[in-house]
Amino acid sequence: MMRPTWSAVATRTRLIPLLLAVGLLLGYAAAYSQDTQCQDASIKKLQYGKCMQYSYEGTTYVLCNGPYSLCTIADCHPSKDPTYVTCDCKIVESGLSILLPPPSGQPINTTSPEISNFSYAQFPLTPDTCAPGTAQVVNCLNASCVVSPADPTKSFCSCPVTTDNPPPGQLIFFPPETNPPSCNTLRSGAPVTSKTEQLDFALTAAMNCVMLQPPPPSNPGR
């Protein structure tokens, strides 16, 4: 029996915002396989406040269930170091998110608003591609963050930024029915590469495994 897909589970559980999020993310989710194989059963049992490493298509990712900083549509400001910018991000208190293992190779075992993860929490959003020559890449994935002392729902994340001349261009998102931000301003985004697409696929696969599966039909042969 084929495992129910994220779309099917979302429909059954009325999680419409997340379903829209997956459907709108660059159009990639529409191309995602309809049968997600959950080889690591522990993904389904990921507890709140915990993270775990898992593999997707030969790449290791970290899946978290709990609070984190989210910089999908964050505006950013220059810092003293030209290779980093400070981005105004949002703290999300619960839900699934994804990041890459730290460079040291040490596993991330607990969730924290002091790390910037990727999730669909701010979707649906509209994607826009800033062409090469118009924008530097500000990539906040795995960035370190500081919780705002004035507002515990916000954080300031130190995100690496390219300094190429000409700028390489990047992918950005903005709320639907609003004007896209100017490409020549500092804004959190993502490289326009296949790695960005695979990150989306990896999160979608993990979400499909974690969601509660409906009971099997009483007559599977029907």
Is residue 218 included in any domain, yes or no? no
Q: What is the pLDDT of residues 182-209, one digit of tens each?
A: 998 899 999 988 888 899 999 999 998 8
**Strand intervals (E) in the chain:** 50-56, 59-65, 68-70, 76-78, 84-92, 96-99, 112-117, 126-130, 144-147, 154-160, 170-174
* Total-model pTM: 0.79
pLDDT of amino acid 193: 86
Is residue 98 included in any domain, yes or no? yes
Is residue 1 included in any domain, yes or no? no
| 85, two tokens | 């910018």
- What is the tally of helices (H) and strands (E) in the chain? 3, 11
Is residue 12 included in any domain, yes or no? yes
What's the domain range around 139?
6-210
Is residue 216 included in any domain, yes or no? no
Is residue 215 included in any domain, yes or no? no
| Structural domains in the chain (count) | 1
Is residue 220 included in any domain, yes or no? no
| Regions of the chain where pLDDT drops below 50 | 1-36, 212-222
Is residue 14 included in any domain, yes or no? yes
